[in-house]
């Protein structure tokens, strides 16, 4: 931490950014929150609106709009800015436009003298996190993407519902790309410390191992389903980002499935992807290499290949 005051600068005050800000306020997760958006009036309005909740919040927080120069003493700069896909626009064109958005943000943030942690949520998040690291030149551990943190939360929620247990007692991860090629290593999924497949075997037919892949499919389709119903997803990701923020600001060394640079885990190098990581004050301290089955390792590698191909489509 840079000072006694936990300072977060949020760039991109759209639905995701402001859901994050609202959750930060409700959890009193930082002391100072500055909002930046290319639409300055929007950022100003959001800062006003959010400040009016201070009278009811569990703690004090300074909330204001800011400039990139204000990032100098920030602990975390959070990136939720982005442009939406135009009708008929191909993925490389969208990626190129979002790369320009990130260039216009990351360069002035770095110029400010910022020496904290970047937290990236903009999609495709694994590629945008890799881009943030490339543009900033920061040590890879200090550039953290939300990765499969939200997907993992969705999985734990669905498993909790299926087995009728508190999702906080479900230990299971979604790994790889935050997107189509993500997967669940079921060999590592536990209720308390008992593998879910054993729970199914011993349940006398009440729970079925064959139902598990259906839950993974529901996780994979959740975003599309929500977007079809209400155009965007934001509360879940906002809460996931606050969870990561708390781990960073509190130097918690929590295990979270964030997007980080792989340096040989499961045979992958040079790609940013979602993997369980120990997250503390300095960002990602280390990745946890789980004892995956050979077919799970293969799925992880394939997902990372998809991400690498996406990165290569990006010219910046
Ligand atoms: P939004 O359109 O509501 O907000 C985007 C904001 O970025 C807008 O306020 C816009 O003015 C701002 N912006 C655009 N260009 C900018 C620039 N150059 N500088 C500063 N600000 C700029 O979008 P949203 O619904 O908040 O989604 C934001 C991003 O989060 C999207 O990329 C979305 O796909 C992603 N997302 C990620 C996850 C995840 O799990 N990582 C989940 C949901 C959404």
- Strand 62-65 to strand 76-79: parallel, antiparallel, or no bridges (unpaired)? unpaired
Instruction: Please say which residue of 82, 114, 145 terminates a domain.
Output: 145
* Ligand 1 centroid distance, CA of 165 (Å): 34
Q: Give the pairing type, strands 117-120 and 143-145.
A: parallel
Supply the DSSP symbol for 265: G
| Whole-number pLDDT of residue 316 | 62
Tell me, yes or no, whether 265 and 232 share the same domain. Answer: yes
Look at residue 280 and tell me if it is in a domain: yes
Helices (H) and strands (E) in the chain, counts: 9, 12
Which atom number of ligand 1 is nearest to the Cα of residue 105? 19
Q: Are 158 and 290 contained in the same domain?
A: yes
> What confidence score (pLDDT) does residue 1 get?
61
Mutate to test the pocket of ligand 1, among 37, 106, 118, 125 (most ligand atoms within 8 A of CB): 37
Ranges of residues in the chain whose predicted pLDDT is under 70: 1-3, 315-316
Taking Cα atoms as reference points, which of 140, 172, 168 lies closest to residue 257? 172
Taking the centre of ligand 1 as the mean of its atom positions, its distance from the CA of residue 44, in whole angstroms, is 17
Q: Can you read off the two tokens belonging to residue 91?
A: 């993925």
2 located within any domain: no
Instruction: Tell the residue nearest (CA) to atom 25 of ligand 1.
Output: 15
For residues 20, 303, 157 and 196, what is the CA-based torsion angle, rounded to 10 degrees?
-150
Ligand 1 and 93: CB distance under 6 A: no
**41 in any annotated domain:** yes
Cα(201) to ligand 1 centroid in Å equals 44
Domain boundary among 145, 170, 188: 145
Taking the CA of residue 233 as reference, the ligand 1 atom at the shortest distance is: 43
**How many residues can be counted in the chain?**
316
At residue 73, the pLDDT reads 97
Residues 156 and 291 in one domain: yes
Q: Are residues 87 and 126 in the same domain?
A: yes
| Residue 1 domain-assigned (yes or no) | no
Q: Please tell me whether residues 138 and 163 are part of one structural domain.
A: no
Residue 86 domain boundaries = 7-145
Total domain count, the chain: 2
Based on the domain organization, do 161 and 103 belong to the same domain?
A: no
* Domain presence at residue 50: yes
Nearest ligand 1 atom to alpha carbon 120: 41
Phi-psi category of 177—alpha, beta or left, where left has phi over 0 and alpha has psi -120 to 50?
beta
Q: Which residues are catalytic?
A: 178
Does residue 219 sit in the same domain as residue 109?
no
**Distance from C-alpha of 114 to C-alpha of 24, rounded to nearest angstrom:** 21
The answer to whether residue 21 sits within a structural domain is yes
Beta bridge partners of 176: 274
**H or E element, residue 259:** strand 254-263
């Amino acid at each position: 931490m840079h000072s006694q005051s936990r300072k977060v600068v949020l760039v991109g005050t759209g639905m995701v950014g402001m859901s994050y800000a609202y959750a930060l306020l409700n959890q009193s997760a930082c002391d100072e929150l500055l909002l930046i958006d290319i639409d300055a009036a929007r950022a100003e309005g959001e800062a006003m609106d959010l400040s009016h909740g201070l009278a009811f919040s569990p703690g004090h927080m300074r909330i204001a709009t800011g400039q990139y120069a204000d990032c100098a003493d920030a602990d975390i700069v959070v990136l939720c800015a982005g442009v939406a896909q135009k009708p008929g626009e191909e993925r490389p064109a969208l990626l190129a436009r979002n790369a320009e958005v990130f260039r216009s943000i990351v360069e002035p943030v770095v110029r400010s003298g910022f020496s904290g942690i970047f937290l990236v949520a903009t999609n495709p998040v694994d590629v945008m996190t890799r881009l943030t690291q490339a543009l900033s030149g920061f040590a890879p551990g200090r550039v953290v993407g939300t990765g499969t943190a939200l997907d993992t939360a969705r999985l734990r929620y669905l498993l909790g519902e299926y087995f009728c247990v508190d999702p906080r007692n479900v230990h299971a991860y979604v790994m790889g790309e935050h997107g189509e090629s993500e997967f669940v290593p079921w060999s590592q999924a536990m209720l308390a410390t008992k593998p879910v497949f054993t729970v199914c075997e011993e349940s006398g037919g009440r729970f079925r191992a064959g139902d598990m892949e259906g839950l993974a499919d529901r996780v994979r389709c959740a975003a599309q389903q929500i977007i079809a119903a209400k155009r965007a997803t934001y509360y879940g990701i906002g809460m996931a980002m606050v969870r990561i923020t708390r781990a960073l600001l509190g130097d918690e060394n929590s295990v979270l499935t964030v997007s980080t640079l792989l340096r040989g885990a499961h045979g992958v190098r040079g790609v940013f992807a979602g993997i369980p990581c120990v997250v503390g004050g300095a960002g990602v301290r280390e990745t946890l290499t789980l004892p995956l089955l050979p077919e799970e390792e293969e799925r992880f590698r394939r997902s990372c290949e998809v991400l690498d191909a996406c990165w290569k489509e990006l010219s910046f």
